[in-house]
Chains A and B, each alone.
Chain A
């Protein structure tokens, strides 16, 4: 199974700004999931996007998937200090039943 690679590794922004993080992968996928992890709540699922979908929204979150470029992006609009966390993409590809995680993007939102 393949692993997604998040970029950038770290991101520091001011409250109210937008945050964009990317996930790239190497071979075709079935779906791609984004998770958030902070010390208070552990790993929490944000959005799942399937290979035949191009964009999904959930509140202030927007995920896009470009299968031709083998990449996905997570956009957080109007960021808040509470968005400070690590963000991971998890890839499900081929015949695997195991979503595999990248190293994550560490986001810090300054109040």
Chain B
């Protein structure tokens, strides 16, 4: 079956612009996670959804970052007034249940470059 998909695969933007990154989880997966990964580092947690609600957004670095999952499926990560330090690969993962008791299925990521 289809895995987790993310669009776009690459996004180049200018400092100060607004970007949206999309994640399509595996059908039926209730848990959805966003991570950010910089070169040479492991994935850094941003936000976790259980169904439609953000169960934990403690990883969002500041209020320029926001994410939604209005129908409990597709999620969009939104970054306002982008900064060069936002450049990273943004990873989305889904899981069949909450609680981290099941493996996470990761998408290929969106590489964001802020010039």
A interface residues, Cβ below 8 angstroms from B = 1, 3, 30-31, 33, 35, 42-45, 48, 88, 90, 92, 96-104
Contacts and interface: CB of A to CB of B under 8 A. Distances in A.
A35 B95 CA distance: 14
B105 interface: yes
Given A88-B42, A101-B43, A103-B41, A96 B106 contact: no
Nearest to A6: B42
B103 A97 contact: no
Contacts of B105: 45
Given A42-B107, A42-B109, A45-B105, A98 B100 contact: yes
A1 B59 CA distance: 11
Contact of B56 (A45, A48, A97): A97
A103 B68 CA distance: 28
Interface of B: 31, 33, 35, 40-45, 48, 50, 55-56, 59, 91, 93, 98-109
Closest CB pairs A-B (n = 5): A101-B42, A45-B103, A43-B106, A92-B100, A101-B43
22 contacts: A30-B101, A31-B100, A33-B103, A33-B104, A35-B106, A42-B106, A42-B108, A42-B109, A43-B91, A44-B106, A45-B103, A45-B104, A92-B100, A98-B33, A98-B45, A98-B48, A100-B45, A101-B43, A102-B42, A103-B40, A103-B42, A104-B41
A66 B93 CA distance: 28
Contacts of B43: 43, 88, 101
A99 B42 contact: no
Nearest to A40: B108
Nearest to B109: A42
B100 A96 contact: yes
Given A31-B100, A88-B43, 7 more contacts: A30-B101, A48-B102, A48-B103, A97-B31, A97-B48, A100-B45, A101-B44
